[in-house]
Structure 1
Amino acid sequence: MKFSPNNKVVLITGGAKRVGAAITRTLHQQGADVMLHYNTSRAEAEALQRELNHTRADSLAIMQADLLQTAQLPKLIHATLETYGRLDVLINNASSYYPTALGNIDEQQWEELTGSNLKAPLFLSQAAADALYASRGCIVNITDMHIERPKKHYIVYSAAKAGLVSLTKSLAQELAPNVRVNAVAPGPVLWPEDNQEFDEAYRQQVINQTLLKRTGEPVDIAKAVKFLVYDAPFITGHVLAVDGGRHLSM
Structure 2
Amino acid sequence: MSEHSLPPVILITGAARRVGAEIARVLHRAGATVVLHYRRSAAEAEALAGTLDALRPGSATTVGGDLKDDGVPEAIVAAVLERHGRLGAVVNNASSFFATPVGSIDAAAWSDLVGSNLKGPLFLSQAAAPSLRECRGAIVNIIDIHAERPLRHYPLYCAAKAGLLGLTRALALELAPEVRVNGVSPGAIEWPADGQFAPHERDEIVAHTLLGRVGSPADIARTVRFLLFDAPYVTGQIIAVDGGRSAHL
The equivalent residue for 2:33 is 33
Q: What is the Cα deviation at residue 85 of structure 1?
A: 1.8
The equivalent residue for 1:97 is 97
What is the alpha-carbon distance in structure 2 between the residues aligned to residue 17 and residue 92 of structure 1? 14
What is the alpha-carbon distance in structure 2 between the residues aligned to residue 106 and residue 34 of structure 1? 36
What is the alpha-carbon distance in structure 2 between the residues aligned to residue 15 and residue 119 of structure 1? 18
The equivalent residue for 2:230 is 231
**TM-score, normalised via structure 1 length:** 0.96
Q: What is the Cα deviation at residue 117 of structure 1?
A: 0.1
The equivalent residue for 2:83 is 83
What is the alpha-carbon distance in structure 1 between the residues aligned to residue 169 and residue 4 of structure 2? 28
Contact kept? 1:6, 1:31, Cα under 8 Å: no
The equivalent residue for 1:210 is 209
**What does residue range 147-158 of structure 1 map to in structure 2 within 5 Å?**
147-158=147-158
Q: What is the Cα deviation at residue 7 of structure 1?
A: 2.0
The equivalent residue for 1:70 is 70
Contact kept? 1:70, 1:120, Cα under 8 Å: no
What is the alpha-carbon distance in structure 1 between the residues aligned to residue 5 and residue 12 of structure 2? 18
What is the alpha-carbon distance in structure 1 between the residues aligned to residue 198 and residue 155 of structure 2? 21
Q: CA RMSD in A?
A: 1.2
The equivalent residue for 2:243 is 244
What is the alpha-carbon distance in structure 2 between the residues aligned to residue 93 and residue 61 of structure 1? 17
Note if 1:50 corresponds to 2:50.
yes
Note if 1:199 corresponds to 2:191.
no
**What does residue range 142-181 of structure 1 map to in structure 2 within 5 Å?**
142-181=142-181
What is the alpha-carbon distance in structure 2 between the residues aligned to residue 237 and residue 4 of structure 1? 23
What is the alpha-carbon distance in structure 1 between the residues aligned to residue 43 and residue 52 of structure 2? 14
What is the alpha-carbon distance in structure 2 between the residues aligned to residue 5 and residue 182 of structure 1? 25
Q: 1:180 to 1:107 in 2, by over 3 A?
A: same
After superposing on structure 2, the runs of 4+ consecutive aligned residues of structure 1 that deviate more than 6 Å are none
- The percent of aligned pairs where both chains have the same amino acid is 51
User: How many pairs align?
Assistant: 247
What is the alpha-carbon distance in structure 2 between the residues aligned to residue 146 and residue 6 of structure 1? 38
Deviations 1:17-65 (A, max 9, x none): 0000000000000000011110100111011011101101111110111
Contact kept? 1:144, 1:161, Cα under 8 Å: yes
Q: What is the Cα deviation at residue 150 of structure 1?
A: 0.4
What is the alpha-carbon distance in structure 2 between the residues aligned to residue 6 and residue 94 of structure 1? 26
SS in 1 for 2:181: strand
SS in 1 for 2:71: helix
SS in 2 for 1:70: coil
Q: What is the Cα deviation at residue 186 of structure 1?
A: 0.3
Q: What runs of 5+ residues in structure 1 fail to find an aligned partner?
A: none
The equivalent residue for 1:119 is 119
Q: 1:234 to 1:6 in 2, by over 3 A?
A: farther
What is the alpha-carbon distance in structure 2 between the residues aligned to residue 46 and residue 173 of structure 1? 36
Bigger shift: 98-107 or 63-72?
A: 63-72
Contact kept? 1:38, 1:63, Cα under 8 Å: yes
Q: What runs of 5+ residues in structure 2 fail to find an aligned partner?
A: none
What is the alpha-carbon distance in structure 2 between the residues aligned to residue 112 and residue 72 of structure 1? 14
**TM-score, normalised via structure 2 length:** 0.97
Q: 1:211 to 1:6 in 2, by over 3 A?
A: farther
1:116 is matched by which residue type in structure 2?
A: S
The equivalent residue for 1:14 is 14
